[in-house]
Chain A
Amino acid sequence: TQLLEQSPQFLSIQEGENLTVYCNSSSVFSSLQWYRQEPGEGPVLLVTVVTGGEVKKLKRLTFQFGDARKDSSLHITAAQPGDTGLYLCHNDMRFGAGTRLTVKP
């Protein structure tokens, strides 16, 4: 059973700071999706990464897929309060436990 481990579990930062969250597995991912969930809502897809070594950018968010396709990271530059939420990685119907990010104004 492939488990998705996310770290850190909680992250509280000030507006304008940078941060990175991680998603790791002992097995190779076929592909990986990142979602963000805000309170009272369902998760919303941010990106899908497929190719080892792939880097995708979405405004201030940068997603990397490890060369071996066992890990992925999400980097946020100059975080804003609107980035607050639960960040989840997903593969093969399994979600990681998530990183709960709070960005304080």
Chain B
Amino acid sequence: KAGVTQTPRYLIKTRGQQVTLSCSPISGHRSVSWYQQTPGQGLQFLFEYFSETQRNKGNFPGRFSGRQFSNSRSEMNVSTLELGDSALYLCASSLGLAGGHVGGELFFGEGSRLTVL
């Protein structure tokens, strides 16, 4: 069974630009959640999508958005990039709702490392 695939793996942007990251979940998984990981803040939850609906959202500004398609693939977008957005963005898929008792185990991709100059 193929794992979670994230693209691109690395990218460099400048302040003010926008970026779109893609995540293909494990086949059959309906939940995709996104996390930002930085040395200072650790792993922080961005949002979760389940069956094309945003189910939960973390405490991030509106510049961070996402969506999920009917095939469960997900994208996240960050607009008007700031230097502080430099981070590893991790996507995780799960069979059921993320963290739930049943099917809530998260399977992570290798991440997209974003550098904002």
Contact = CB atoms under 8 A, between A and B. Distances in A.
A43 B106 contact: yes
A71 B45 CA distance: 21
Contact of B43 (A30, A41, A48, A88): A88
Nearest to A40: B110
Interface of B: 4, 33, 35, 42-45, 48, 56, 58, 90, 92, 98-101, 104-111
27 contacts: A31-B101, A33-B104, A33-B105, A35-B106, A40-B110, A41-B108, A41-B110, A41-B111, A42-B90, A42-B108, A42-B109, A42-B110, A45-B105, A45-B106, A48-B104, A90-B99, A90-B106, A91-B99, A93-B33, A93-B48, A93-B99, A94-B45, A95-B42, A95-B43, A95-B44, A97-B42, A98-B43
A44 interface: yes
Interface in A31-87: 31, 33, 35, 40-45, 48, 50
Task: Specify the main secondary structure of chain A where it touches its partner.
Answer: loop
Given A43-B43, A95-B35, A95-B42, 15 more contacts: A31-B99, A31-B101, A33-B105, A35-B106, A42-B4, A42-B109, A44-B108, A50-B101, A88-B43, A90-B106, A92-B99, A93-B45, A93-B98, A93-B99, A97-B42
Given A31-B101, A42-B4, A93 B109 contact: no
Interface residues of A, number: 22
